[in-house]
Amino acid sequence: MPDTATRGAHYPDLDGKVVVVTGALGGIGSAAMKAFAEQGATVIGMDLSAAPKESAVVPNARYLTVDIADPTQIADAVADVVAAHGAIDAWINNAGSMNRIAALDMDLASWNRTIGVNLTGVFFGAQAAARVMARNGGGSIVNLSSYAGIKARPNCIDYASAKAAVSHLTNCLALEWGPLGIRVNAVAPGYIKTPMSAWMHEDPVNYRTFVEKTPLRRMGEPAEVAQMFLHLASDVSAFVTGQTLVVDGGITRS
C-alpha cells in the first residue's frame, strides 16, 4: 500500500471546521477522527460505546455516547455540539452494524436493529446536521454505504439492503438540499481491515478467498476510507454532490 494512502493529502480549508463522526470508535471511525484532527478540524465523535478505548482516543476530540438508531439521542447530541461549537460544517455518517444471518433465519429484532443503525440513523443524523447547516449557509454530509449495497452477498440481507438504500438516500438528499448549500455524498468501501470484518482477515482461508476476488489483491485500510471522507468534506469537492465513491480495490468489477 502506498504511504500516501495513510499519510494523506492536506486540506487547509478543514482547519477550524466542526466535524462530527458517528461510529467514532470503530476501525474506520477512529481513522476518520484522526484524519480530521490532523487537518486542524474540531472533531466530535459519537458512538454507542460509553468510553473510548485508549487506542481510539484522538487528543482534543470530544466523544459523546449516542445510539445512532435513536433519533431523539441524535437530536440531543446535535444540540450539545451546537451549544458548544456553534456550527456543524461536516457530518460523517459512519456508524454501522452487521449481522451474519441467512435470509431464511432473519428475525424481526435483528432486522430492525441493523436497519435502525445503518439506514434510519443515517437519515436522522443527516437531517439533524442539515438543519444546522441550512442556518449557517451549507456544509457537507458524507454517508457510509458499502460494496455489499452494490453487489449481492449471502448472509447479510439486512445490511446489504440498508447500504443499497443509503446510496439512493444520498442521491435524494443531494437533490433536495443542494439549493441550501449542503452537499451529500457517500463512500462505499469494499473489504476493509476493521473489527467488523475480523472474521475475514483473521482466517487465512477466508482472507485468501477475499483477496483473490479483489483486483488489487489486498484488503483496504481504514485510513484509505478516511481519506475519502476528507476529500468529500473539503472544498476541493465543492462541485461534487449526489455521488457514491466506491473504495473497494476493484471488487465490484470482478
Checking if the pLDDT of 121 tops 60, the result is yes
Indicate whether 67 belongs to any domain. yes
Indicate whether 229 belongs to any domain. yes
What is the per-residue pLDDT across 135-180, written as a single tens digit (0 to 9) for each? 999 999 999 999 989 988 889 999 999 999 999 999 999 999 999 9
Indicate whether 204 belongs to any domain. no
Predicted local distance difference test score (pLDDT) of residue 141:
99
CATH of the domain at 179: 3.40.50.720
Number of H helices, E strands in the chain: 9, 7
Over residues 98-109, mean pLDDT: 95
Look at 101-105, 128-132, 214-218 and tell me which has the smallest mean pLDDT.
214-218
Q: Which residue type is seen at 235? A: D
Predicted local distance difference test score (pLDDT) of residue 103:
97
Strand-pair partners of 62: 44
Q: The domain containing residue 35 runs over which residues?
A: 12-193+220-253
The residue ranking higher by pLDDT, 171 or 216, is 171
Structural domain total, the chain: 1
Query: Which among 63, 147, 159, 191 is annotated as catalytic?
Result: 159
Q: How confident is the model at residue 92 (pLDDT cuts 50, 70, 90)?
A: very high
Closest among 80, 110, 89, 82 to 98, alpha carbons compared: 110
Coil, strand or helix: which one is 61?
Answer: coil
Instruction: Work out the mean pLDDT of the chain and round it to a whole number.
Output: 92
Q: What is the 3-state secondary structure (H, E, C) of 150-202?
A: CCCCCCEHHHHHHHHHHHHHHHHHHHHHHHHCEEEEEEEECCECCHHHHHHHC
Distance between CA atoms of 114 and 96, rounded to whole angstroms? 8
Burial of residue 17 (number of CB atoms within 10 Å: 0-12, 13-18, 19+): buried
Over residues 120-141, mean pLDDT: 99
Query: Does the annotation mark 159 as catalytic?
Result: yes
Predicted local distance difference test score (pLDDT) of residue 210:
77
pTM for the predicted model, two decimal places = 0.93
Q: Do 17 and 35 contact (CB within 8 A), yes or no?
A: no
